C-alpha cells in the first residue's frame, strides 16, 4: 500500500518520506529505530552529578529569553520539583517561550548543577513523557521523530496485516516470535528483552530472504550447462607474451581462472574485484579473445557512455591485427545506426559489441553469444544480475563481472555468494601511489598553494564538497566554495560546478568542458558519476572529509592518478583526522575497505547506500554473523529439498530472481 493512502500523510509528507526511502506502508513499518533512549524519570534527590537525566517539573514562573548575540540566546525560568525551586536554562530555544506555561508539567532532559541549583537542559519535552523506551529514527528535514513514530503506530493500531512469510518450522526451530509481534516490539519495546527478541526475528528473516535468493542463483548456476569453450591456447599465450608490460601475479592468476571457467562445461559466473587501475580490462580482454577463438561473440557493458568509448579505444588497440570486428552500441546513436548494429550482431558479423545499458534491449539478439562482461563501478544488486545473461537464448553465455569497489572478503562472500570471486590486489608497478594528506581548515593555504602549482603545470583538479541532504542550503555551500576559490585564484582560473540538481544536459556540458580541459577545477558533490577518466587530473581535494567512509574516500581518490604523473589527494577535515590517516598510509582498496568495515560497519561501504536493495535494514553481516550462517544453511536446505515450492511467496521470489515467466 502506498504511503499516501495513510490518513495524516499528505502529498508533502509523502515526498519527505520518499526521501528517506519510505514509499509504501511496508517500508514504513520496516523503518526501524537505529537506537533507543531509555527514559527513566528521576527522583530529584537521586540526581547524580554530571549525568543526563529526565526530570519532571512544574513551571513556577514565566520564561525569559536573553539574546546574547546573533544566533545565540538563552531561555531561563523557575520550576518546582519536590517543593523546591530550581533554575532552568536552555540555549538557543528562545522560540519555546510561549510553551513554558506557569502551572504546567514538563520533562527536562539534561544535567543538574547542584552548586548553582541550575538545570542545564538540552531538551524540554511537553508531551507527557512516561518511563519508557523511545526509539530514535534517522530523520530528514520536515519529519521529526515524534511524527514518524506516531505515523508508524497509527498503522500498527489500525491492525494492518503483517504477514509472516518465514516457514513455520523455522520459526519453531529458533523459537522466533511472529513477524507482527517483532515489528510491534521493535517500535514499542517495554524492555531490552523486547528489543532483543524482535531483532533476532527480523535479522533472521532478512538474512533468510537474502540468502534464499543468493543460494537459489548459485544452485541454479551450478546446474546450468554453459558453453564449453574450445580455443587454441597457443594463440592466447602468444597474445599475452606480446603485451608491452609484464602481467602482475594476481592478473595471471585471474586470467588462469577465467580461461579455466571458459573451458568448463558449467557456466562461468565470476566476479573480478580490483581497484581502479589494477588492470582488470586486460583480463576481460583475454576472456574476449579466448571466446572469439572458440567461435563466439562477446559483449561488454560499461556503466557510462564515456567509459564504453574508453573500452572501445583500449580494446581496439589491444586487438590490432587479430581480426576481431568490434562495434559500440550506446543510447546516443541514431535509430538507424542502432538498427544497423542489431542487424550485424544478429548475422554474426560483429565479434565484440561494447556498450552501455542500451545493450539491455529486446531488439538486440546475438547469433552466438558466448561471453557477457559487465563493468560496473558500483555494487550491483542480486535482482539485476541476470538481465543480460538471458540474451543467450539457447546456449547460456559465460558471465564475468568487473568491480572497482574492493570490499572485505567476508562481506563479498555474502552479498556475492552466488558468484566465484577473483581479487586483483597487487597493482602494476609503474603506477605511482597518490600522495595523500589530511589537512585542517587552518592549513587551507597549503592546499590552495598546491592547487595553484598543479594548475600552472597545466593539470586539472577535482574538488568535492559533500551534501548531506542535497537541499538548497547545502547547495549554497557548494556555490560559496566556488566564490572562495574564485577569490583565492583572483578569477583567473576557470572553475566549474556540477551537482545532482542540474539537468542532465547541463551536467554533460560541464563534464565535456572538463574533459576537454576548458574547465580547470571542477567542484562537485558526490552525486556525479564515478567512472569518469580525466588523465590530466592530478589532484583531488575533498572538503568535510570526515563525512565520508574510508572506502568512499578511496573511490573518490581513484579519479586521479590515472597516468604516470604524480597525483595528490588532500582531505580537509576538522575532526576525525586519526581515522582519516589510514588514507595517508595505504593505497590498497581492500585494506582500506576492511578498515572501514571495522570502523563503521557494512552500511557505509561505498555504493551500498545507493543501491537500497543491498542494504540490510536491521541485520549486520559482521555483528550478526552467526545468524547469517544459520539462515544461509537453512535457506540452502529449503531450496535443495524443494520445500520452497510449497510457498507462494518464495516461488514468486524465484520467478523474480531467475526471470521466469
Ligand atoms: P582497471 O580496469 O582495473 O581500472 P585497466 O585495465 O584500465 O585498469 O588498467 C589501467 C592501466 O594499466 C592501463 O593503461 C593498462 O594498459 C595498464 N596495465 C594493466 N596491467 C598492467 C601491468 N601488468 N603492467 C603495467 N601496466 C598495466
Ligand atoms: Mg576498467
Other C-beta atoms lying within 10 Å of the C-beta of residue 147:
16
Percent of the chain with pLDDT over 70: 92
Cα-to-centroid distance, 276 and ligand 2 (Å):
6
Mutational test site, ligand 1, from 239, 240, 242, 277, max ligand atoms within 8 Å of CB: 277
Residues 305-317 have pLDDT tens digits of 888 998 999 999 9
pLDDT at 605: 46
Residue in 470, 473, 578, 488 with CA at minimum distance from that of residue 524: 470
Among residues 261, 256, 251, 334, which one has the least CA distance to residue 294?
A: 261
Distances, alpha carbon 292 to alpha carbons 85, 173, 391, in Å: 88, 52, 17
**What DSSP element (H or E) covers 178?**
none
Lowest-confidence segment of 51-60, 151-160, 276-285, 643-652 by average pLDDT: 151-160
Q: Which of 17-26, 402-411, 599-608, 643-652 has the highest mean pLDDT?
A: 643-652
Ligand 1: residue of 239, 276, 279, 532 to mutate (most ligand atoms within 8 A of CB) is 279
- Mean pLDDT over each residue of the chain, to the nearest integer: 88
Pocket of ligand 1 (CB under 6 A): 245-248, 251, 274, 276-282, 404, 428, 430
> Grid coordinates standing for 419?
558468484
The pLDDT of residue 152 is above 70: yes
Judged on CB neighbours under 10 Å (0-12, 13-18, 19+), 327 is middle
Cell numbers found for residue 120? 542545564
Alpha carbon 560 to its chain's center: 21
Residue 80, φ and ψ in degrees, nearest 5: -115, 135
Q: Taking 70 as the threshold, does the pLDDT of residue 100 lie above it?
A: yes
Name the most confidently modeled range: 292-301, 485-494, 620-629: 292-301
CA of 364 to the centre of ligand 1 (A): 31
Band (pLDDT 50/70/90 cuts) for residue 606 is very low
Neighbours of ion ligand 2 (CB under 5 A): 281
Q: Rounded to an integer, what distance in angstroms lies between the CA atom of residue 56 and that of residue 42?
A: 8
Residue 36 CA, ligand 2 centroid: distance in Å: 44
More confident residue, 327 or 533: 327
Using the predicted structure, report yes or no on whether residue 41 has a pLDDT greater than 80: yes
Spatial strand order of the sheet with 460-464 comes to 435-439, 568-572, 537-542, 460-464, 521-524, 495-498
Least confident of 157-171, 198-212, 377-391, 498-512: 377-391
Residue of the CA atom closest to atom 20 of ligand 1: 279
pLDDT of residue 432: 81
Distance CA 201, CA 193 (A): 13
Q: Which band of pLDDT confidence, cut at 50, 70 and 90, is reported for residue 471?
A: low
Pick the residue whose CA is nearest to atom 26 on ligand 1: 428
Name the residue with the closest Cα to ligand 1, atom 27. Answer: 428
Q: What per-residue confidence (pLDDT) applies to 609?
A: 42
Which pTM was predicted? 0.72
Q: How far is the CA of 415 from the centre of ligand 2 (A)?
A: 22
Amino acid at each position: 500500500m502506498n504511503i499516501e493512502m495513510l490518513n495524516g500523510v499528505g502529498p508533502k509528507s509523502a515526498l519527505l518520506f520518499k526521501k528517506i526511502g519510505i514509499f509504501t506502508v511496508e517500508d514504513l513499518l520496516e523503518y526501524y529505530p537505529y537506537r533507543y533512549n531509555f527514559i527513566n524519570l528521576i527522583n530529584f534527590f537521586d540526581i547524580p552529578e554530571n549525568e543526563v537525566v529526565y526530570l519532571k517539573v512544574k513551571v513556577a514562573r514565566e520564561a525569559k529569553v536573553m539574546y546574547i548575540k546573533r544566533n545565540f540566546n538563552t531561555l531561563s525560568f523557575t520550576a518546582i520539583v519536590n517543593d523546591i525551586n530550581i533554575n532552568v536554562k536552555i540555549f538557543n530555544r528562545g522560540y519555546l517561550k510561549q510553551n513554558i506555561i506557569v502551572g504546567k508539567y514538563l520533562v527536562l532532559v539534561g544535567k543538574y548543577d547542584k552548586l548553582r541549583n541550575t538545570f542545564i537542559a538540552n531538551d524540554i519535552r511537553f508531551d507527557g513523557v512516561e518511563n519508557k523506551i523511545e526509539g530514535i529514527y534517522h530523520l530528514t528535514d520536515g519529519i521529526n521523530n515524534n511524527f514518524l513514530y506516531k505515523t508508524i503506530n497509527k498503522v500498527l493500531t489500525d491492525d494492518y496485516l503483517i504477514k509472516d512469510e518465514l516457514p513455520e518450522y523455522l520459526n519453531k526451530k529458533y523459537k522466533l516470535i511472529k513477524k507482527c509481534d517483532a515489528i510491534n516490539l521493535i517500535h514499542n519495546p517495554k524492555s531490552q528483552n523486547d528489543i532483543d527478541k524482535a531483532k533476532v526475528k527480523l535479522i533472521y528473516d532478512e538474512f533468510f530472504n537474502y540468502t534464499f535468493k543468493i543460494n537459489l542463483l548459485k544452485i541454479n548456476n551450478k546446474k546450468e550447462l554453459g558453453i564449453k569453450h574450445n580455443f587454441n591456447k597457443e594463440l592466447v599465450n602468444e597474445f599475452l607474451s606480446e603485451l608491452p608490460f609484464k602481467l602482475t601475479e594476481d592478473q595471471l592468476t585471474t586470467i588462469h581462472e577465467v580461461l579455466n571457467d571458459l573451458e568448463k562445461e558449467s557456466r562461468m559466473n565470476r566476479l573480478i574485484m580490483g581497484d581502479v587501475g589494477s588492470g582488470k580490462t586486460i583480463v576481460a580482454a583475454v576472456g574476449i579473445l579466448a571466446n572469439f577463438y572458440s567461435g563466439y561473440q562477446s559483449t561488454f557493458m560499461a556503466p557510462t557512455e564515456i567509459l564504453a568509448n574508453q573500452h572501445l579505444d583500449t580494446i581496439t588497440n589491444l586487438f590490432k591485427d587479430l581480426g576481431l570486428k568490434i562495434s559500440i552500441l550506446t543510447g546516443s546513436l541514431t535509430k538507424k545506426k542502432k538498427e544497423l548494429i542489431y542487424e550485424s550482431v544478429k548475422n554474426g558479423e560483429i565479434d565484440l559489441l561494447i556498450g552501455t545499458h542500451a545493450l539491455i534491449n529486446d531488439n538486440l539478439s546475438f547469433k552466438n553469444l558466448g561471453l557477457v562482461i559487465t563493468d560496473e563501478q558500483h555494487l550491483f544488486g542480486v535482482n539485476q544480475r541476470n538481465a543480460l545473461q538471458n540474451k543467450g537464448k539457447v546456449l547460456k553465455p559465460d558471465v564475468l563481472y568487473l568491480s572497482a569497489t574492493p570490499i572485505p572478503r567476508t562481506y563479498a562472500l555474502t552479498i556475492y555468494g552466488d558468484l566465484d570471486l577473483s581479487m586483483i590486489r597487487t597493482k602494476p608497478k609503474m603506477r605511482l601511489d597518490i600522495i595523500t594528506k589530511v589537512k585542517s581548515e587552518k592549513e587551507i593555504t597549503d592546499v590552495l598553494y598546491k592547487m595553484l602549482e598543479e594548475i600552472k603545470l597545466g593539470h586539472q583538479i577535482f574538488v568535492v564538497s559533500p551534501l548531506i541532504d542535497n537541499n538548497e542550503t547545502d547547495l549554497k555551500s557548494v556555490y560559496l566554495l566556488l566564490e572562495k576559490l574564485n577569490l583565492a585564484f583572483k578569477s583567473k582560473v576557470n572553475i566549474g560546478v556540477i551537482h545532482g540538481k542540474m539537468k542532465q544536459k547541463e551536467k554533460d556540458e560541464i563534464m565535456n568542458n572538463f574533459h576537454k580541459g576548458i574547465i580547470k577545477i571542477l567542484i562537485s558533490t558526490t552525486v556525479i558519476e564515478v567512472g569518469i577518466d580525466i588523465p590530466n587530473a592530478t589532484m583531488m581535494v575533498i572538503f568535510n572529509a570526515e563525512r565520508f567512509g574510508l572506502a568512499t574516500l578511496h573511490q573518490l581518490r581513484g579519479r586521479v592518478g590515472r597516468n604516470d604523473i604524480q597525483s595528490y589527494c588532500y582531505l580537509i577535515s576538522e575532526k576525525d583526522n586519526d581515522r582519516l590517516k589510514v588514507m595517508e598510509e595505504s593505497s590498497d582498496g581492500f585494506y582500506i575497505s576492511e578498515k572501514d568495515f571495522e570502523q563503521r560497519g557494512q552500511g557505509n561501504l561505498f555504493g551500498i547506500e545507493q543501491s537500497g536493495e543491498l542494504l540490510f535494514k536491521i541485520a549486520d553481516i559482521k555483528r550478526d554473523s552467526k545468524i547469517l550462517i544459520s539462515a544461509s544453511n537453512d535457506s540452502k536446505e529449503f531450496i535443495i529439498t524443494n520445500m520452497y515450492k510449497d510457498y507462494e511467496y518464495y516461488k514468486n521470489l524465484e520467478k523474480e530472481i531467475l526471470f521466469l515467466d
